[in-house]
Amino acid sequence: MNKQSLEIIQTKKWIEDIIVGLNFCPFAKKELINNTIYYYLSHQKKIKPTLSEIFEQCAHLLSTATIETSLLIFNEGFKSFEQYLHLVDEANEYLEHSEYYGEIQIASFHPDYYFDGADYDDAENYTNRSPYPVIHLLKEKSLTRVLTTYKNPEQIPEKNMVLAKQKGRQYFEQVLKNIKNLS
């Protein structure tokens, strides 16, 4: 198995075990089953070329009817959470002033993700921790459609944090360690 496919396999396993397995995203199971998640491995390390790549992936997502959502996985760059947040801020800023405004939304996941005001070791941070830095591109139309069918979608983050606290930090550390040890 080559390095590229390993990172995608590990990310898929994270989606299966954490995101779908714990129902952190109640909409992800359908996309996983229907194989409509696109996984893209980026080797970029710098902001400008990464922004170009992100927007190439926005175009790809919007032009491909068989894809509902895309995950850009960074295997080399953006290991620093601060650098990653800078990338996400730049991508959102660029998105606001692009033809993709109102078409694409960005969600963020990182191995060192932590919420503002939370301690680094708080279990609820694991709702957004992933094996690699990931930028999740979502079609806004699809997101709007599923949100109208889900009762109280604004409660999803709170519910996830409660479940993460119940599971505990050690649980998530072990799951992520097992995923990273896949070969």
For residues 92 and 102, what is the distance between their CA atoms, to the nearest angstrom? 12
Give the tens place of pLDDT for each residue, 39-66: 999 999 999 999 999 999 999 999 999 9
Which residue is it, tokens 């109280």? 152
pLDDT digits (tens, 9 = 90+) for 64-118: 999 999 999 999 999 999 999 999 999 999 999 999 999 999 999 999 999 999 9
Please give the Cα distance from 144 to 10 (Å, whole number): 29
Question: What is the pLDDT at residue 95?
Answer: 95
What global pTM score does this model have? 0.93
pLDDT in tens, 110-143: 999 999 999 999 999 999 999 999 999 999 988 8
CA separation for the pair 143, 60 (Å, rounded): 17
- The pLDDT score that the predictor gives to residue 1 is 42
Q: How confident is the model at residue 144 (pLDDT cuts 50, 70, 90)?
A: confident
In this model, does residue 2 exceed pLDDT 50? no
Q: What is the pLDDT of residues 147-180, one digit of tens each?
A: 777 788 889 999 999 999 999 999 999 999 999 9
Distance CA 183, CA 178 (A): 10
- Domain segments of the chain as ranges: 3-176
